[in-house]
Amino acid sequence: MLADPESAIDVACGKNGAVSGISSGKGYVDVSTVDAASSMLISKQIKDTGALFLEAPVSGSKKPAEDGQLIFLTAGDKLLYEKAAPFFDIMGKSRFYLGEVGNGAAMKLVVNMIMGSMMASFAEGILLSKKVGLDPNVLVEVVSQGAINAPMYSLKGPSMIKSVYPTAFPLKHQQKDMRLALGLAETVSQSTPVAAAANELYKVAKSYGFSDEDFSAVIEALKAAKSQEA
């Protein structure tokens, strides 16, 4: 499980990469979050050796990983999927087989695009509630009991209010996934204006030095915008 497409390609296909030692009867499972093109490139080079390939990016961050509650989004050789399934079941709570290589990568990018957009909107809501004199802690309680509830709101909301961002999923990786998702949308001419706007906020937060903080630190981009307006 590697941080970006460049790293994943290098470990699989670069000098002293997996392709130099893998062969028929072996399999390569890549759990990195990459774009579909990178996954297909790795797949081709692995399969050219006679080995099997499976992409298996996960939905879930630090705590789900520790608790064995990840969600595996797999695609590629079905035989390797079946052999790896018992190990996925130890590390995760569910697994999906999505067919051809590229589908796992695409599903992960769509999921993280939604997550990143949700977090950016949540950050706006926290700041707006404070601005109009509401208690943002009560906002988090209200949200957690309604139809729009998501676990990350109640988990990250209290620390966001305190301007503390313990890293479960680094902001720089969230922005990378937003960028890759927007690129995916571009390949099929799908409009994604909400995600595009959210991506700009993550870029601003990176520029303010929050790359290695949790992605909930995107709220700092909105604070910066507010201070500049003042």
131 as an active site residue: the answer is no
Q: Judge contact between 170 and 214, C-beta under 8 A.
A: yes
Residue 166, beta-bridge partner list: none
Give the number of residues written for the chain.
Answer: 230
DSSP string computed for 7-39: HHHHHHHSTT-GGGT--TT-EEEE-----HHHH
Instruction: Give dist(CA 182, CA 167) in Å, integer.
Output: 24
Q: What is the CA radius of gyration of the chain?
A: 19
The catalytically annotated residue of 15, 108, 131, 156 is 108
Instruction: Give dist(CA 216, CA 121) in Å, integer.
Output: 11
DSSP string computed for 41-90: HHHHHHHTTT-EEEE--EE--HHHHHHT-EEEEEEE-HHHHHHHHHHHHH
- Rounded to whole angstroms, what are the CA distances from 218 to 103, 177, 210, 215? 28, 14, 8, 6
Q: Which of 63, 62, 43 lies closest to 53 in space, CA to CA?
A: 43
Active site residues: 108
